[in-house]
Amino acid sequence: MHKKIRQYNLKANESAIFEPMEILDQSIAADVADKLLEIQAIRLQPEKPFTWASGWKSPIYCDNRLSLSFPEVRNLIRDHLVKCVSHFFQEVEAIAGVATAGIPQGALIANELGLPFIYVRSKPKGHGMENMIEGKVTPGQKVVVVEDLVSTGGSSLKAAEDLKNAGFEVLGMVAIFSYGFDVAAKNFADAGIKLVCLSHYDALLPMAVKMKYITPETLESLEEWRKDPGGWGQ
């Protein structure tokens, strides 16, 4: 028997209109961005950009797995993700983490809510049962997917599709951080899946200026990157 899903009074948009990408709460978004910068889970280097696996040059690198090493930040993120699930997806019956970084976050949420937990591999296990989904597969079960970071949404939505193919009903997805790319919003809208994040790029930039991680003069370049990440820095 799982715990009753709590309802929270939040300032998030409660319109019946489907919004593919939402933020839990603007004040929470700023606070989470602050904490991620403080522990260096997010790094900003516009003068010495990172190179992503896609080949894109990026002024930002985000590794939210670092939050797991800081109990105060880990618990803050867990509690806010629980709020996301409880407020937006009240019919949830199970939590699904996306391998690999979504697994610990998802397990923490499932434990807090007293719900079953499963996780989705990026590709089937190469031996044994060759599972794509680890844990008890219960067709018809209503599941919320957990990610740590969303960029274009491709791998996240693939995990959601794998869950649907296994017979689950995907209610939506929660994540710690999103870059807020237009292509991600389109991908989630096309898939008909709602994404709710704790924080995003728009909340990060003013916090980074306030904390003096970047100067106001670099803001324009950082804002341009989000508009055209593929062409930025070329």
82: pLDDT strictly greater than 80: yes
Residue 234's pLDDT is what?
67
Check whether 150 is labelled as a binding-site residue: yes
Separation in Å, CA 27 to CA 18, 88, 200: 22, 18, 12
- If you average pLDDT over residues 225-231, what whole number do you get? 88
Check whether 125 is labelled as a binding-site residue: yes
Tokens standing for 227?
């508009």
Residue 125's pLDDT is what?
66
Check whether 154 is labelled as a binding-site residue: yes
231 is a domain residue? no
161 is a domain residue? yes
Separation in Å, CA 40 to CA 37, 46, 122: 5, 15, 26
Check whether 113 is labelled as a binding-site residue: no
Comparison of pLDDT for 55 and 71, the residue scoring more: 71
Instruction: For residue 207, count CB atoms less than 10 angstroms from its CB and return exposed for 0-12, middle for 13-18, buried for 19 or more.
Output: buried
Residue 232's pLDDT is what?
86
10: pLDDT strictly greater than 80: no
Check whether 149 is labelled as a binding-site residue: yes
Q: How far apart are CA 67 and CA 115, in angstroms?
A: 23
Check whether 148 is labelled as a binding-site residue: yes
pLDDT tens-digit readout, 54-65: 788 999 999 999
What is the 8-class DSSP label of residue 222?
H
Q: Which domain holds residue 159?
A: 21-214
Q: Which amino acid is at 199?
A: S
Tokens standing for 171?
């209610």
Residue 203 — φ and ψ, nearest 5°?
-80, -30
224 is a domain residue? no
Q: Sorting pLDDT into bands at 50, 70 and 90, what band is 126? A: low
Least confident segment among 71-85, 102-116, 124-138: 124-138
4 is a domain residue? no
- The end-to-end CA distance of the chain, in Å, is 55
pTM: 0.90
137: alpha, beta or left? (left if phi > 0; alpha if psi -120 to 50) = beta
CA 211 from centroid of its chain's CA atoms? 23
Check whether 15 is labelled as a binding-site residue: no
Residue 19's pLDDT is what?
76
119 is a domain residue? yes
Structural domains in the chain (count): 1
Which CATH number does the domain housing residue 61 bear? 3.40.50.2020
Residue 55's pLDDT is what?
84
Check whether 147 is labelled as a binding-site residue: yes
Check whether 127 is labelled as a binding-site residue: yes
5 is a domain residue? no
> Which ranges constitute the DSSP H helices of 135-179?
154-165
Residue 4's pLDDT is what?
45
> Which ranges constitute the DSSP H helices of the chain?
26-38, 71-88, 102-113, 154-165, 182-191, 201-210, 219-227
Residue 9's pLDDT is what?
46
Least confident segment among 9-13, 147-151, 229-233: 9-13
Residue 192's pLDDT is what?
95
Check whether 11 is labelled as a binding-site residue: no
Least confident segment among 76-85, 159-168, 202-211, 216-225: 216-225
199 is a domain residue? yes
227 is a domain residue? no
